[in-house]
Amino acid sequence: MRRFTVAALTAATLGTVLSAVPAQAHQGSPALGKENCTTTACHFDVAPGTYDVTVLLGGDTAASTRVGGETRRTLLPETATAAGERVVRSFTVNVRTPEGEPTGAEGTPGLDLVLGGSAPALADIRVTPARRARQIFLVGDSTVCDQPGDPYSGWGQQLPQYFRKGLSVANHADSGESTVSYLADSRLWGTVQPLIRRGDLVLVQLAHNDKQTDETTYRANLEALVAGVRERGGKPVLLTPIVRRWFNADGTLNNNTALLVNGLGVDHPAVTRSVAADKGVPLVDLTAKTKALVESLGVEASKSLYLYNEKRDNTHTSVHGATVYANLVREELVAQHLVPEGRVRVE
């Protein structure tokens, strides 16, 4: 970790950022610095779009700061600083309306950030429009989405913390959606597809709610999403669904409920793998990865990944579980060279 004195850091590291965006912007535009913050939160009166955020963390005493934002997204993992130390971190954030689930509440206009951690300390902050950011669009259900309230969290809600400035996560996953409903609703695919630009990634994980979707329809819907992404110059990535936490007596996961075989006998992960192979689409086999992890943890230890203790819920993940699963996605995106290594956070 690089260390700077306050004076050297401000002059050498934040110099271009601070000079590019003065504390009070000109011509009546909103101020985009620390004057918009309290000790625990910041609000920036900006229009929907994509923004680069650079923070200067640390203070006179030891500190540990985490940055969240919008609808409970984790944007920067907890970062420790020694007494007198200052560190710079940057990330890119997607601001939209509605700010969370596409069919949910509109939320608060502008960009809202929350300062957390065991001892948060924000020395400075600057927000600028992102000029060259790539987007990772997420198409999915409640296991992926920006969940509005505790204790729920989708893995897509935790994914942004793993990326640096220049790579933004635009989470358009929505609770209760199947491949059928996602394609049919203008607030969902009809909104996402026009936003895709050349080079953007579109991660698709839909299966949990396709309980009555026959195999032909499910396959055709996945193929339609793939074709729609490619039509816009984007790069589709298919993800098999995270497992449900339903164990057999021998400690393995149930072949039907846990592994997403629906009431019609459609094996959603198998169909997803087949479509990926047939269409030459990158595949993240999240079913296989989460199955291996849950079974390795066993009946008791795996409860913390889901909301079993809080809600007797074996489908939806806790913040801890969503963070673990988001890291599995990050690892695969890196391993398959789908995101530039320079955009992946390693601090």
- How high is the pLDDT of residue 31? 66
Contact call for residues 237 and 204 (beta carbons, < 8 A): yes
Top-level class of domain 1-18+26-130: mainly beta
Say if CB 219 and CB 275 are below 8 A apart: yes
| Alpha carbons 185 and 324: distance in angstroms, whole number | 30
**Among 296, 324, 346, 299, which residue's Cα sits nearest to residue 153?**
324
The residue ranges of every structural domain in the chain are: 1-18+26-130, 132-347
The top-level CATH class assigned to 132-347 is alpha beta
Please tell me whether the peptide bond between 151 and the residue prior to it is cis, using omega within 30 degrees of 0.
Answer: yes
Q: Say if CB 181 and CB 141 are below 8 A apart.
A: no
The ranges of the chain with pLDDT < 70 are 1-31, 347
The pLDDT value given to residue 242: 98
Structure token pair of residue 250: 């021998």
pLDDT of residue 22: 31
